[in-house]
Chain A
Amino acid sequence: MAKHHVTATVNGDEVEFLCETHETLLDALRDQLGLTGTKEGCSTGDCGACSVTVDGRLVCSCLMLAVEAQGKSIGTIEGVAHGEELHPLQRKFLEHAALQCGICTPGILVAAKALLEKQPNPTETEVRYWLAGNLCRCTGYDKIIRAVMDAASEMRGA
């Protein structure tokens, strides 16, 4: 069967790619567009390593077909920093040592950014439940939660 031609916006840039019907958005991002910052940990939507935003909404890109990206605006980890300036979340993750191996980090940053856009002043419990779909096996989450809370505080200008 012929491949599908998809045009979409990724991190503000217009992109086009060809994909198979069964291909996931995750595979298209990684294999067609070379954006390997988005990770595959399970391919069943359980680990959150592949978190991206689609028209501002947080999704597991392993659970979405690439053809469904047609006309959509996709946000990935590669679009989180602004030029040379890291996003406050990225900076706080480094300052708080909120990553060890770093494989879950892109997904967690994308998810945390989506949280702070909806809720700039989350409680610790809200952060913990929002990130409950993003597995981290290294850190025990302590420093991740602190980094997100600290970034939220800085972004609020508090």
Chain B
Amino acid sequence: MQEKVKGEPGSEFEYIGTRPLRPDGVDKVTGRAKFGADLAMAGQLVGKVLRSPHPHARIRGIDTSAAEKLAGVKAVITGADFKEQPSEFIPAGEMMINYKDVVRNVMAREKALYEGHAIAAVAATSAAIAKKALALIKVDYEVLPHVIDAAEAMKPGAPILHDDMYTAGVEPAPKTPSNVAKRIEFVLGDAAAGFKQADVIIERDFLTQPVHQGYIEPHACVASVSEDGQADVWVSTQGHWVVRAHCARLLGWDIGKVRVTAAEIGGGFGGKTVVYLEPLALALSKKARRPVKMVMTREEVFRASGPTSGAHVRVRIGARKDGRIVAAEAELKYQAGAFAGSPVQPGCMCAYAPYDIENVKVVGYDVVTNRPKVAAYRAPGGPISEFAVESVIDEIAGKLGIDPIELRLKNAAKEGTKAAYGPKFGPIGMVETLEAAKAHAHWRTPLGKNQGRGVASGFWFNIGGETSVSLALNEDGTLSLTAGTPDIGGLRASLCMMAAEELKVPLDKIRVQIGDTAQLGYNFLTGGSRSTFSSGMATVEAARDVIKEACKRAAKLWELPEDAVEFNNGSVRPAGPNAGKHTPMTLKEIAGIAGKTGGPIVGYARINAHGAAPSLATHICDVEVDPETGKATVIRYTAIQDAGRAIHPSYVEGQYQGGVAQGIGWALNEEYIYGADGKLQNPGFLDYRVPVASDLPMIDTVIVEVPNPRHPYGVRGVGETPIVPPMATVANAIANATGVRFTELPMSPPKVLKALDAARASGTAKM
């Protein structure tokens, strides 16, 4: 753990880089914090959803009459309560959305496309009555053949999910519908020519399974629509402006009529960037004229909310004897779930992003299957392709007899490198994280019996986007900071610190809240590792706006031109030739005379935050593999990552550690298990086993700081990159321990044991 304390000699900052207590902390350790399911309104009804028992079925009819007649039932809705939407893909952060699909995902129309697909919903005076009402809804299904695996779905003759889906991005345009929504390609140089220069070429096929974000708080909301059409929603979400936009669009209401308030959010990891219950609760509330509360069960979360893709990935890399990579190819087939829009595009873009390679060709396919529509999950798409690439790079290093960190250093992307996906990088920290890994004691510590060590790197873009912040200087000099990006893991602390740094006021004089959609201009959601970057940038701008206004007020009082007053170390004072002519005034004193000098002082920032910069990481992991059971246990882990600048290092470390834990789960345990009937067999935390405390060691972290020149404090996003390297890091460690290369996730004990037995039989096992 790196320590930085206030007043540390040499530190240019008073607050940035220190570790104060988070402002929302006490509420969260006392049970006071209100999460999505914690709000109750007078007269509220309970909303429940009827879900398809079939993975693929035509809906010939829905009869809700018996449910509507049941005493206590106040409203019933089906897909018919939502208008058809035109087909168009629009950007939604790191993913694209198509309202034609969104309206069908929140409530099935002509077909049920996965087990768990919403078919109808009811609002009733109690949960028991609502459940009884669901049982009274008669759905006439024509069960259709289904397809679960992406490779199967691409084969000729596979059951087709959408009769109007023709593969985009291929020439000539296909004449028959397909489950492949699109083909994409990123090319740099000439891969075929590059491979001719290679001394060693390794090609491998990889398979990964869908994994769920696994936030502990299920989706939850309360909606209330008044008789005049004014609507309120309280919801656990990563972006309440986005919820507002989706709901208004799906319901055909004015955006301004809908106000959305973000509850405290119990984890999201990308999974709470889309809508499921919110439009249903609003539609039910409008019909029932009562508030409606809806909360998913854990089983519904697994069956009906988005995991990330499972994928088939083929990687081929060629290198010269000196370790220089001369050509690289990849083919990615990502399953999107029931509707187009897997994260295959970012998967393609990330695949070779950490490296400076002249000849690259990456091809991706977006494939629909009868599974829940995928949603963003922490660096969506990146962990899958980079798992495959980092595994092959490890193998190349082994084959050439070059240290895997050295091999990466020989090929590392740096400032000025042109990425295969287009841009030239600004300053990035790939080399710095590799050097830090090489220098870390972990890399040199001897291993014991049945143990192995792996290393892998990872890349994620990070984003900026639309952001608004307001900062009011109160009458007594305290400040009220209102931001619009939900705080999932310490945002309020870091915003408060940036405002305090600008204004030179103590942290406890600033109270920060997440405002609702009526309090600020548009804010894009908390995702893409953007909230500390974007809301931080906006907070700095709002603070500078307060300072500017404070100078203006003093200038007025002192009868000086505005530019003759400056803000210095917490005080407003005359500058230049007038220096010393008036007693400097603190912000508190300026606040006290605000009424007399022009009225309230409020700083605003309304920005589209540009200049987000990628964050790179290098991880080291030790595993111990039980030769009798095949169980791999992570016994030591070190995560090294470029933060640009860590505003609050504890929460940066927390992001690293949390991403590693999720990645270890993805590597070793987690997967969606489907039966031949197309039904999910493990929709609960007992059988979908996420890592628990006894599965993991302490997770060491090293924060590398290569400042982002486009942010006032050098911030890069840090939240997503940490989940990118773990799968390959663990796989490389298992390969090192066992002598067996694993190309399928999860590397669960039965799979490892089977491979170990085969390797022992052929004499290639190390244990």
Contacts and interface: CB of A to CB of B under 8 A. Distances in A.
A136 B33 CA distance: 17
A44 B684 contact: yes
Interface residues of A, number: 58
A25 interface: no
30 contacts: A31-B40, A36-B34, A39-B216, A39-B217, A41-B217, A41-B218, A42-B298, A44-B298, A44-B686, A47-B685, A76-B31, A77-B30, A77-B31, A80-B30, A90-B26, A90-B29, A97-B22, A97-B654, A100-B488, A100-B489, A103-B35, A103-B217, A105-B28, A109-B29, A131-B692, A132-B692, A134-B693, A138-B654, A142-B657, A143-B657
B685 A102 contact: no
A99 B25 contact: yes
B441 to A, nearest CB: 18
A138 B31 contact: no
A49 B37 CA distance: 13
Contacts of A72: none
A67 interface: no
Contacts, number: 186
Interface in B1-59: 19, 21-22, 24-26, 28-35, 37-38, 40
Contact of A145 (B650, B690, B698): B698
B269 interface: yes
B654 A103 contact: no
B30 A135 contact: no
A99 B694 contact: no
Contact of A101 (B19, B267, B662): B267
Q: Is the interface of A mostly helix, strand, loop or mixed?
A: loop
Contacts of A49: 216
Interface in B397-448: none
Contacts of A99: 25, 28-29
Nearest to A134: B693
Residue in A136, A139, A141 with the greatest tally of chain B CB atoms within 10 Å: A141
Nearest to B698: A142
Closest 4 CB pairs of A and B: A37-B31, A103-B266, A100-B489, A140-B661
Interface string A117-151: 00000000101110111111111111111100000
Residue in A38, A39, A125, A131 with the greatest tally of chain B CB atoms within 10 Å: A39
B298 A140 contact: no
Contacts of A47: 216, 298, 685
A101 B32 contact: no
Interface string B635-658: 000000000000010110111011
A142 B691 CA distance: 12
A109 B31 CA distance: 10
B693 A128 contact: yes
A47 to B, nearest CB: 5
Interface in A48-93: 49, 76-78, 80-81, 86, 90, 93
A15 interface: no
Interface string B112-143: 00000000000000001000000000000000
Contacts of B298: 41-44, 46-47
Nearest to B656: A140
Q: Is the interface of B mostly helix, strand, loop or mixed?
A: loop
B386 interface: no
A50 B25 CA distance: 19
A77 B38 CA distance: 14
B265 interface: yes
Contacts of A143: 650, 653-654, 657
A134 B696 CA distance: 14
Given A101-B265, A133-B692, A37 B216 contact: no
Nearest to B212: A137
B685 A103 contact: no
Residue in A37, A80, A94, A140 with the greatest tally of chain B CB atoms within 10 Å: A140
Interface in A7-48: 20, 30-31, 34-44, 46-47
B629 interface: no
B99 interface: no
A93 to B, nearest CB: 5
Nearest to B36: A103
B214 interface: yes
Contacts of B34: 36
Contacts of B186: none
A145 B685 CA distance: 21
Interface in B664-722: 684-686, 690-696, 698-699
B264 interface: yes
Nearest to B264: A102
Contacts of B31: 35-38, 76-78, 80, 106
B490 interface: yes
Contacts of A80: 29-31
B297 interface: yes
B292 to A, nearest CB: 16
Nearest to B32: A37
Contacts of A39: 35, 37, 216-217, 266
A135 B216 contact: yes
Given A36-B38, A77-B30, A95-B21, A100 B651 contact: yes
Contacts of B660: 140
A104 B31 CA distance: 10
Given A99-B25, A140-B661, 15 more contacts: A30-B38, A44-B684, A46-B298, A46-B685, A97-B490, A99-B28, A100-B651, A101-B264, A103-B215, A128-B694, A131-B693, A137-B269, A141-B696, A142-B699, A145-B698
